[in-house]
Amino acid sequence: MTLAIAIPAGQAEARNAWWRHVSSRTAIYAFLTLFALLYLLPLFVVIANSFRPLPEITRYGLIWWPQHLRLGAWAEAWSSTCVAGTCAGVQRNFYNSLLMTVPATVISTLLGALNGYILSKWRFRGSEVLFACMTLGVFMPPQIALLPWAYILGTLSLTNSVAGLILIHVVQGISFATLFCRNYYVAIPDDLIKAARIDGAGFWRIFHRIILPLSPPILIVTVIWQFTGIWNDYIIGMAFTSGREQPITAVLVALATAGQQAAPFDVASSAVLIAALPPLLIYFIGGKYFVRGLTQGAIK
Amino acid sequence: MATLTIKGVHKRFGPVEVLKGIDIEARDGEFIALVGPSGCGKSTLLAMIAGLESVTSGQIFIDERLVNAVAPKDRDIAMVFQSYALYPTMTARQNITFGMESRGVPRKDQDEQVARVAGLLQIEPLLGRKPGQLSGGQRQRVAMGRALVRNPKLFLFDEPLSNLDAKLRVDMRAEIKKLHQRVGKTTIYVTHDQVEAMTLASRIAVMHQGSVQQFDIPKRVYAHPANMFVAGFMGSPSMNFLDGRLAARDGGALCVEIPLANGAVAALPLARPPASAPADGRVVLGIRPEHLYRYDAELKAKKPALARLTAPVELVEPTGAETVANLRIGDREVVGRFDPDGAPELGEQLDLGIDMTPACLFDPGSQKLIPDAA
Amino acid sequence: MTIAISSSLASPATPWRQRLMAWTPVLLIAPSLVASLIYVFGFTLWTLWISLSSSTLLPQYDFAGAKAYFELWSSPRWQIAYGNLLTFSVVYVGAAMAAGLALAIAIDQRIRAESSWRTIFLYPLAVSFAVTGTVWSWLFSPDAGIEFLAHQLGFTDFAFRLTIHRETALYAIIIAGIWHSSGFAMALLLAGLRSIDPDIVKAAMVDGASPARTYRKVILPQIAPIFLAVAVVLLQYAIKTFDLAVALTKGGPGISTTFPAMAVYDFMFQRGQIAIGAAGAIMILAALALVLVPYSLYSAWHARKESAR
């Protein structure tokens, strides 16, 4: 719906209306363009500076059009820059993030789907209350969990390990994934399940033949959100791992903000991009699902 | 004085032409119905009269003033929407006064107007409620109140009764008619229900695929439809169409020959000669269901133009006030409305009488009505 | 609808098989349930206990009453953190909402390439707060960022050193936060604007309302619930602020931009005061509950009112 009416037909009245229309359109596009530039500025700065030679950055500042291009900063960021004592670049941390995020995402999503299926189609006494309790996990602040996790990881000898991080993110992710999947599965008509049971199908058969085929939309949304959330997490990674075991988002802050020992701008920009690229790529490719998760999640 | 004139109006959405040259007009105080199936362009035309859609070409005059480039709020019109479009966060009273507030009408005048309109529509007790707390019919009346309070030159209704259940629809239809008699404003009313059009309008514009098929008083649209579309659209159950051929009988009287099942041919004498005839003599005979009777001599005496033939009865639907029956003539199924006493029975070979006086002849190629010889 | 656990539709299987099938769902969900319940309730209760103890470096399971809470609230770090949180919440939520609304209204005007615009405004959400803070700290740095650019362009007197001064550093964080989250507000508000019955807008046009008046009186009141939902989500982000502030200012200069979440971390892991840290964590939980509980009660009541009609 629009409030700007296009009214042609050659008359003085018509021409006035046309001018008003054109000027309001121009104002709208100017406004949007201005904001778009503001939004894109940080991205531009990071991308441009990862390709600019350091002397140029020092001379012209961060916000300037690149005059020379250099690919070396990427290689340095990846394999030779120094962070927390070691000078082996961020590749180890990138792999840590991958090793942490992918399993945690997959496991929590699958569990979420299974739990969602059970809580929506196989309810039992008290299941609604238990679901509400599980959902509370979505809103828990990480601060409540810091000490207990420290204790648990210590007991299980999982401190400073990717496996420990996976455990944390899976447990915390179950609440979120279950919430999403259960709300989605509730919309699948119960009559489908009843018909299947009359046909003799049991729990697993129904899951495999009826629920899963209908699930791709919600599974994609859940995977995207989980991946983004886990990859972009800072506090868990920072609190429970250090140095070479850290995920890249955690190590990035140390790399970029260590005052005098901070990595130079070109290397730091490349590191930022390496850290930010996976979720950004997922966003640009799967944008529609990203938004869907947004609207669904917030409404709950 | 509030007249509406629409001259040569076309509307195009991109490559698609939805209105292909509309020419209609409404005199002061008339109730014009725009009726047609979905997609015929009637709502678009109404939106253009309101100024909510632009005119691709052509002219729209409200009271002799060209309004093509005039904004809706300056056209002195009021509109009632299918979904009522009441502002859900405001009370009924605020809904009605919203327009006046926007125009800066003083509070005292606003209250006067609200009282006037609320009395007219009997919605005084509802004024403090929000639309969510009102029933469908009540919401409809508040929407009409919002329109009435503007004292506009032109009233525009966009399928206002479609969202109501059948009984309520009949009641509200009567209320709209009474309102029009009381207030007497020029009204343009869009509907897909031909019964509404027939009962409410002083003139009907039947629309199909972007053009006006016929624009005339209800009686003439019904009895002398301009083409087969209008004939089939107006009236329920619809007019029966039978393929036949003109032939002369002894004495020079023209009749229509209809092929029957067993290879025989029924010759139905025409009541009046047509003005012209297609070269090959092929015609389509249109007969309304209410002009089918069980043949008897008494009836024939009263209706000399009663043609007679035998037809088997395939379906009987008694509605109480009448009995609707499906008969087979040739390879066509024909619907008739019969008196419940002595109604046809299933399986009966009915002695059928067809009143040929109101029957219509259509050219099968152009689908147009073949008028009577002058 | 509940599928009866002991369903009579089951084929006449052996009793143990029947019981297995009946218990399968419960057994399967049990581990998740247990883990979640421990995570939600166990952790909270344990943290609460610690906050009521006199633990310092290691947990001590005694009872010290509200001592940790007193120490928490009397510490300047916490007071500054809490003040920052209040300022941040109000400005961040308000400005992100305003920016999101402006963008949503602009995009709603039937403009071209709409999905491209949306993609641009929404992408910051895919970026972590840590990256956001890092990049914006560079933009705010006088030696290389915005101020430097202004000098390059000839505005040699231009000063833009938010992160250098105690009084203004918080606003640097707020700006970065608005950049990150207003796309979210935009997306939800745009969906709301789209859900409005177009006939109502047409009626307002016929009624003679100007576009501004139509938005103010007709459209925005109708999407009021969405404003509330967006505010609630943004407030949650605000209360949990950690990554953004650490990456952008490290809580500085000094401790002028510290936030409750950072203070908690500081007490727990850097000062060996886990009781005070736990007390801080409980305060953060209380703040979240203060926002979420009334909201969920309100939306449950609202939903029941809608369905009763």
Within chain B, all domains assigned CATH 2.40.50.140 are found at 240-362
3-class secondary-structure state, position C11: coil
Residues C226-262 pLDDT 10s: 999 899 999 999 999 999 999 999 887 888 899 999 9
* Residue C173 near residue C244, CB atoms below 8 Å: yes
CB–CB of A240/A149 below 8 Å?
A: yes
* Minimal C-alpha gap between B57 and chain A (Å): 8
| Predicted confidence band of residue A181 (pLDDT cuts 50, 70, 90) | very high
* pLDDT exceeds 60 at position A135: yes
Mutate to test the interface with C, among B44, B75, B89 (most CBs of C within 10 A): B89
Cα gap B163→B169, rounded to integer Å: 9
The 10s digit of each residue's pLDDT in B68-120 is 988 888 888 999 988 888 998 889 999 999 988 888 889 999 999 999 999 88
Nearest residue on chain C to B150, alpha-carbon basis: C207
Output the pLDDT for position B354.
92
CB contact under 8 A, C264 and A143: yes
Mark yes or no for CB contact B82/C199 under 8 Å: yes
For A14, the closest of B51, B52, B69 (CB atoms) is B69
Q: How far is C201 from chain B (nearest CA, A)?
A: 8
Residue numbers in A near C264 (CB within 8 A): 143, 146
Q: How confident is the model over A54-112, as pLDDT tens digits?
A: 888 888 888 888 888 888 888 888 888 887 777 888 888 999 999 999 999 999 999 99
pLDDT < 50: residue spans in chain C: 1-10
- In the prediction, which pLDDT does A7 show? 41
According to the model, what pLDDT value does residue C296 have? 87
What is the residue range of A6's domain?
Answer: 1-41
Interatomic CA distance for residues B80 and B52, integer angstroms:
13
Q: Which residue has the higher pLDDT, C144 or A34?
A: A34
Closest residue in B to A10 (Cα–Cα): B69
Chains that touch B (3 or more CB pairs under 8 A): A, C
Are A47 and C140 spatial neighbours (Cβ–Cβ below 8 Å)?
no
Residue B6, beta-bridge partner list: B24, B60
Residue A121 placed within a domain: yes
Instruction: Give residue A4's pLDDT.
Output: 45
| Average pLDDT value for chain B | 90
Helices C76-107 and C114-122: crossing angle in degrees, nearest 10, is: 170
Mean of per-residue pLDDT scores for chain A? 86
The count of structural domains within chain C is 1
Residue type, C276: I
User: C108 vs A2: CB contact, 8 Å cut-off?
Assistant: yes
Domain B4-228 has CATH 3.40.50.1970: no
Residue A5 pLDDT > 60, yes or no? no
Q: Any idea which of A174-183, B49-58, B236-245, C107-116 has the lowest mean pLDDT?
A: C107-116
Query: Could you say which residues from 39 to 78 on chain C have a Cβ atom under 8 Å away from some Cβ of chain A?
Result: 39-44, 46-47, 50, 59
Name which residue leads in pLDDT, C12 or B205: B205
Element (H, E) at B79: strand B77-80
The model carries a pTM of 0.81
Does residue C309 sit within a domain? no
Q: Which of C134, C137, C148, C265 to mutate to test the interface with A (most CBs of A within 10 A)?
A: C134
**What is the tally of structural domains in chain A?**
2
Average of pLDDT values for B280-299? 91
> Is C177 part of the contact surface with chain A (CB cutoff 8 Å)?
no
Asked if residues B359 and B283 have their Cβ atoms less than 8 Å apart, the reply is no
If asked whether residues A99 and A163 sit together in one domain, one would say yes
Looking at the domain assignment, is residue A244 inside a domain? yes
Sorted by sequence, the CB contacts under 8 Å of residue C259 that are 6+ apart come out as C81, C84, C85, C88, C241, C242, C245, C251
Q: Is A159 helix (H, G, I), strand (E, B) or coil?
A: coil
Q: How confident is the model at residue B374 (pLDDT cuts 50, 70, 90)?
A: low
Cβ atoms of A274 and A300 within 8 Å: the answer is no
Q: Do B87 and C200 touch (CB under 8 A)?
A: yes
Q: What is the mean pLDDT of residues B239-262?
A: 85
- pLDDT of A299: 54
Mean pLDDT value across residues B45-72: 91
- Which residues, 6+ apart, have CB-to-CB distance to B96 below 8 Å? B113, B114, B117, B118, B127, B142, B145, B146, B149
CB contacts, 8 Å: C250 with chain A = 257
User: Rounded to an integer, what distance in angstroms lies between the CA atom of residue A85 and that of residue B273?
Assistant: 109
% of chain A exceeding 70 in pLDDT? 93
Q: Which of A130-134, B70-74, B250-254, C154-158 has the lowest mean pLDDT?
A: B250-254
For A39, A148, C152, C248, the CA distances from C144, given in Å and listed in that order, are 19, 42, 10, 15
The domain containing residue C162 runs over which residues? 86-259
Backbone angles phi, psi at A154, to 5 degrees: -65, -45
From residue A136, give the alpha-carbon distance in Å to each of A170, A219, C47, C288.
15, 21, 16, 11
Decide if pLDDT at A10 tops 50: no
Q: How far is B132 from chain C (nearest CA, A)?
A: 8
CA A270 to chain centre: 19
| DSSP character at residue C271 | S
Per-residue confidence (pLDDT) for residue C35, from 0 to 100: 92
The fourth-level CATH superfamily of domain B240-362 is Nucleic acid-binding proteins (2.40.50.140)
Check if C300 contacts B (Cβ < 8 Å).
no
In angstroms, the CA C34 to CA C40 distance is 10
Query: Average of pLDDT values for B115-134?
Result: 91
Question: Given this model, what pLDDT does residue B115 score?
Answer: 93
> Is the residue at A223 inside a domain?
yes
Q: Which of B326, B324, B291, B329 has the alpha carbon at shortest distance from B310?
A: B329
> Containing H/E element for B78?
strand B77-80
Omega into A8 within 30° of 0, i.e. cis? no
The whole-angstrom separation of Cα B238 and Cα B242 is 13
C-beta atoms of C203 and B52 within 8 A: no
Same domain for A4 and A122, yes or no, is no
For residue A191, what is the nearest residue in chain C, using CA coordinates?
Answer: C1
Query: Does residue C177 lie within any of the structural domains?
Result: yes
CB contact under 8 A, A5 and B70: no
Specify whether the CB–CB gap between C295 and C228 falls below 8 A: yes
Number of helical (H) and strand (E) elements in chain A, helices listed first: 15, 0
What pLDDT digit, counting tens, does each position of B157-196 carry? 999 888 888 888 898 899 899 889 988 899 999 999 999 9
Residue A178 lies in a domain: yes
Higher-pLDDT residue of B142, C7:
B142
* CA–CA gap between residue C252 and residue C258 (Å, rounded): 7
Is B279 exposed, middle or buried, given 0-12, 13-18 or 19+ CB atoms closer than 10 A? Answer: exposed
| Residue among A28, A43, A239 whose CB faces C269 most closely | A239
Q: Which H, E and C letters describe C89-108, residue by residue?
A: HHHHHHHHHHHHHHHHHHHC
Give me the pLDDT at residue C13, please: 55
Q: Are residues A28 and A158 in the same domain?
A: no
Q: How far is C266 from chain A (nearest CA, A)?
A: 11
**Cβ neighbours of A13 in B, within 8 Å:** 69-70
Q: State the Cα–Cα distance between residues B45 and B53, nearest whole angstrom.
A: 8
**Cis, peptide link before residue C253, omega less than 30° from 0:** yes
Interface check C200 vs B, CB under 8 A: yes
